[in-house]
Amino acid sequence: MKKQSPKLTGLICVFVLLLLPPLTNPATASANGTVKVVPLESDRIGNAEPLNAPSEMGPIAAGSWHTCALTATGGVICWGWGSYGQLGNNSTVLYTHIPMDVSGLSTGVSAISAAYGSHTCALTTTGGAKCWGYNYEGQLGNNSTTDSRIPVDVSGLSSGVIAITGGLYHTCAMLMTGSMKCWGDNRDGQLGNKSNIGSLIPVDVYGSALPNFYLYLPLVIR
C-alpha cells in the first residue's frame, strides 16, 4: 500500500479545519484593545448561551481572593470573596461568582489595584485616589482602621496621583511631581519613611520628593 506523503496529509488536515465551524471563544479582543467577555452556560460546543455580563472590560487586577476590572465606560466591577468589603458593592454577601458594580464608580476611573491582601484601590481620571475593603492597618488611607464596603477618599490625595498599588496591608501612590506616598502597615519599613510605625494617612517616601527622583526608579514601574 502506497504511503501518503506528509505534505499532502498536512494540507488535508488544514482543509478540514477550515471547513469546521469556529469554536465559541469566551473572550475576544475588540478593535480598541479591550476584552469582550462572553461567559458561557455550558462548555459543550453548540449548547452555549451568553449570560448577562458587561460586554467589555479593560485592565484586570487580581488580589488574593478577589478580582476587579475596568469597564469600557471607566467604571469598576469586582467579584470573588468580599468578607471585608473589598468588592466595594456595599454588600455583606461573603462572595459572588459574577462581576458586581462598585458603588459610586460607574465612570471616571483610569486605573485599579486589587491588593495582595483584602483591599482595593482606584485612581480616578481627575487624579484622585480611593480605596475600600480591609482596613485593620489603615491601608485605606482615610485616617481610620474601620473596614469599608464602599470606596473612600484617601486623605490628601484628591488630585495629582498618577499611579497606585496595594500590598498586603499597605498602599502606595506616585504623584505627578514624581514623589511617592505610602500608608498602612509599616512593621518592616514598607512605607519607606525611615520608620517602622504605621500610618493611617499617606506619608512621604524618604527622598522621593527630590527633583527627578522618578528617573532613578526601575523602568518597570514607569
Q: Is the dihedral of CA 187, 188, 193, 195 positive or negative?
A: positive
Q: What is the pLDDT along the chain (222 residues), one digit of tens a residue?
A: 444 444 444 433 333 333 344 333 333 333 344 433 333 333 322 333 333 445 566 799 999 999 999 999 999 999 999 999 999 999 978 999 999 999 999 999 999 999 888 999 999 999 999 999 999 999 999 999 999 999 999 999 999 999 999 999 999 999 999 999 999 999 999 999 999 999 999 999 998 876 554 544 443 333
So what's the pLDDT on residue 212?
53
b (16+ CB within 10 A) / e for 145-163: eebbbbbbebbebeebbeb
Interacting residues of 114 by C-beta distance below 8 A, sequence separation 6+: 61, 62, 63, 66, 67, 68, 78, 86, 120, 166
Interacting residues of 69 by C-beta distance below 8 A, sequence separation 6+: 57, 58, 59, 60, 61, 76, 77, 78, 99, 112
Predicted TM-score of the model (pTM)? 0.72
Q: Is 216 exposed, middle or buried (0-12, 13-18, 19+ CB in 10 A)?
A: exposed
So what's the pLDDT on residue 210?
61
So what's the pLDDT on residue 48?
34
So what's the pLDDT on residue 12?
35
So what's the pLDDT on residue 211?
57
Rounded Cα–Cα distance for residues 179 and 210 (Å): 7
CATH number of 54-217: 2.130.10.30
Reference 154, options 122, 179, 123, 131; nearest CA is: 131
So what's the pLDDT on residue 8?
40
Domain ranges for the chain: 54-217
Q: Give the three-state DSSP class for 18.
A: helix
